[in-house]
Chain A
Amino acid sequence: MGYKAKFRVWRGEGGDGKLEDFTVEVNEGEVVLDVIHRLQATQAPDLAVRWNCKAGKCGSCSMEINGKPRLGCMTRMSTFEESETITVTPMRTFPVIKDLVCDVSFNYQKAREIPSFTPPADVRPGEYRMQQIDVERSQEFRKCIECFMCNNVCHVIRDHEENKTNFAGPRFLMRIAELDMHPYDVADRKDAAQEEHGLGYCNITKCCTEVCPEHIKITDNALIPMKERVVDRKYDPLVWLGNKIFRR
């Protein structure tokens, strides 16, 4: 059975704008993105919203629904009370282009700053031989759909714009961890993780893990293991000594 839902949607260009109230029809089985589309079709034809697959796999429709970073296409209307006013805003960490559409180029810039997979010089493509148990740990990180909600929710840059220069965010620290754990990657990523990409800023409050729509254990399986690897390199004299003695 359908009903009329109360929506408050951020409208504006750049940072300027305001929350506007709408009453929109909602039908059984719909998600927030369906309602946003109906709003666009019936009341606000110039409402900007980024979307693509409607299946939780493209990471385009990241937004904040009642203050929580969510994918619009994966947030079922049945999770809200019919009497509830649903507030929809763009992601709070990135500049707004228009309405619900953000400029997420910060993330692409950070991605470019990470050196790509670096195999040993004497191993040519096609010669890699890896066992499943050696690669499955980092395969979890390949599930990332680049919705950038982890970077959006991370308070290091969400609350402190000035840290964007020095902090890659959980998405790209996870990328560094993925490469560092790769059996055939020989690039030195530990010092860079700490010194250039700001791993030390992470205070492991796990919001990135909480919002990940792919349920990747970003903190437990990527960030903390990477912090421990950095400890091996920079802060543990016994490991340093062991590496010297056994020439590891």
Chain B
Amino acid sequence: MTQTTAESPARKQRAQLKVRTLRTDRWWLAPALTFAGLSAFLIYGFWAIFDASYFVEPYIAPFSSPCLATSCPEGARFLGLAPFGDWYGLPPGLLILGLPAGFRVTCYYYRKSYYRSFWLSPPACAVAEPHKKYTGETRLPLIIQNVHRYFFYGAIVIGAVLTYDAILALVHKPAGLGTWILLVNAALIVAYTLSCHSCRHITAGRLNHFSKHPLRYRAWTFISKLNAKHQPLAWASMFSVMIADFYVRLVAKGVITFPFA
């Protein structure tokens, strides 16, 4: 095929409309809301990771779990372990932040959402993007998005830890409101993690003969149903983790003091 450039004669053979888009609907609303939602999450996460009020018996804030540093209160340590010794002086949440953050950053849904809302590539369908060149995920740094499945393995661990935290709170009598908030959050996090496209691929998506692997095919069918809800689960779990984390910190700070908190 003839090599073309943005200003080539081939480009000029297209309908020469000088407007960015002829769409008349509110195409800007979805990227604007996404931008606001993701920005709120980033700002909250930045604040939470440096906030010290992350533990109050029997709750641990999800942003700081598992707590793996010696600086963690004894009851907050995951399985009583503290593999990071006294030398580690930074907030304990930073130790594990990379796994859930990496999972969300490389998630196929979030990629769509931030490519559209932050990078405007494109901001909406049939709306011209502002960039002169585009190479997509063919080279650094975006080719790194291909590591998504490794973050998925890490996110499975984080989902299990949050479930363990919620169950610990549940067996603590009496179970307070925070217990149920942590349980709902853990359920949404696990559902979001399992609905991931990489999980769908690993279960059986990579196979061409489903009939030879009936159990994997059944797992794939189940994950495919979850996968169809990946976007709503991404948002629901993002808000639930913020709400759960903020609730625990409010209890830990003594702002929330009602019985069965």
B237 within 8 A of A: no
Interface size on B, residues (CB 8 A): 58
Contact indicator per residue, chain A 194-210, by CB within 8 Å of chain B (1) or not (0): 00001011111111001
Contact indicator per residue, chain B 226-250, by CB within 8 Å of chain A (1) or not (0): 0110000000000000000000000
Give, as a whole number of angstroms, the nearest-CB distance from B123 to chain A: 10
Contact of B135 among A14, A106, A164, A201 (CB under 8 A): A201
A17-B111 Cα distance, complex, nearest whole Å: 37
A155 lies within 8 A of B122 (CB)? yes
A220 lies within 8 A of B197 (CB)? yes
A229-B149 Cα distance, complex, nearest whole Å: 12
Known contacts being A205-B112, A211-B125, is A183 close to B209, with CB within 8 Å? yes
Give, as a whole number of angstroms, the nearest-CB distance from B114 to chain A: 10
Interface secondary structure of B, over-half rule: loop
Known contacts being A160-B6, A162-B5, A228-B197, is A90 close to B23, with CB within 8 Å? no
A163 within 8 A of B: yes
Q: What residues on B are CB-neighbors of A106 within 8 Å?
A: 1
**Those of A201-241 within 8 Å (CB) of chain B:** 201-207, 210-211, 220, 224-225, 227-232, 234-236
A207 lies within 8 A of B210 (CB)? no
Stretch at the interface among A35-43, A92-100, A118-126: A92-100
Known contacts being A183-B208, A205-B115, is A155 close to B6, with CB within 8 Å? no
Known contacts being A12-B15, A200-B143, A228-B205, is A66 close to B24, with CB within 8 Å? yes
Q: What residues on B are CB-neighbors of A183 within 8 Å?
A: 208-209
Contact indicator per residue, chain B 138-161, by CB within 8 Å of chain A (1) or not (0): 110011001111000000000000
Stretch at the interface among B37-45, B73-81, B89-97, B126-134: B126-134
Known contacts being A156-B134, A183-B208, is A161 close to B11, with CB within 8 Å? yes
A15 lies within 8 A of B16 (CB)? yes
Contact indicator per residue, chain A 97-119, by CB within 8 Å of chain B (1) or not (0): 00000010010010000000000
Q: What residues on A are CB-neighbors of B148 within 8 Å?
A: 231
B126 lies within 8 A of A161 (CB)? no
Contact of B21 among A67, A181, A211 (CB under 8 A): A67
**Those of B3-39 within 8 Å (CB) of chain A:** 3-6, 8, 10-17, 21-25
Q: What residues on B are CB-neighbors of A205 within 8 Å?
A: 112, 115-116, 121-122, 125
Q: Which residue of B lies closest to A206 (CB)?
A: B112
B173 within 8 A of A: no
Contact indicator per residue, chain A 113-147, by CB within 8 Å of chain B (1) or not (0): 00000000000000000010110010000000000
A160 lies within 8 A of B147 (CB)? no
Q: Which residue of A lies closest to B144 (CB)?
A: A235
Q: What residues on B are CB-neighbors of A234 within 8 Å?
A: 146
**Those of B177-222 within 8 Å (CB) of chain A:** 197-198, 200-201, 205-206, 208-211, 217
Q: What residues on B are CB-neighbors of A200 within 8 Å?
A: 136-139, 143
Contact indicator per residue, chain A 177-201, by CB within 8 Å of chain B (1) or not (0): 0001111010000000000001011
Known contacts being A90-B15, A155-B122, A201-B136, is A161 close to B24, with CB within 8 Å? no
Contact indicator per residue, chain A 79-101, by CB within 8 Å of chain B (1) or not (0): 00000100101101111100000
Q: What residues on B are CB-neighbors of A185 within 8 Å?
A: 208
B108 within 8 A of A: yes
A203 lies within 8 A of B115 (CB)? yes
Give, as a whole number of angstroms, the nearest-CB distance from A99 to chain B: 10
Contact of A204 among B112, B131, B143 (CB under 8 A): B112
A131 lies within 8 A of B211 (CB)? yes
Contact of B15 among A92, A133, A164 (CB under 8 A): A92
A50 within 8 A of B: no
A227-B106 Cα distance, complex, nearest whole Å: 13
B121 lies within 8 A of A203 (CB)? yes
Q: What residues on B are CB-neighbors of A137 within 8 Å?
A: 210
A59 within 8 A of B: no
Q: What residues on A are CB-neighbors of B112 within 8 Å?
A: 203-206
B137 lies within 8 A of A207 (CB)? no
A159 within 8 A of B: yes
A153 within 8 A of B: yes
Q: What residues on B are CB-neighbors of A64 within 8 Å?
A: 22, 126
A201 lies within 8 A of B16 (CB)? no
Per CB-CB distance, the 6 closest pairs between chain A and chain B, nearest first, are A67-B22, A95-B13, A67-B23, A200-B138, A207-B125, A228-B201
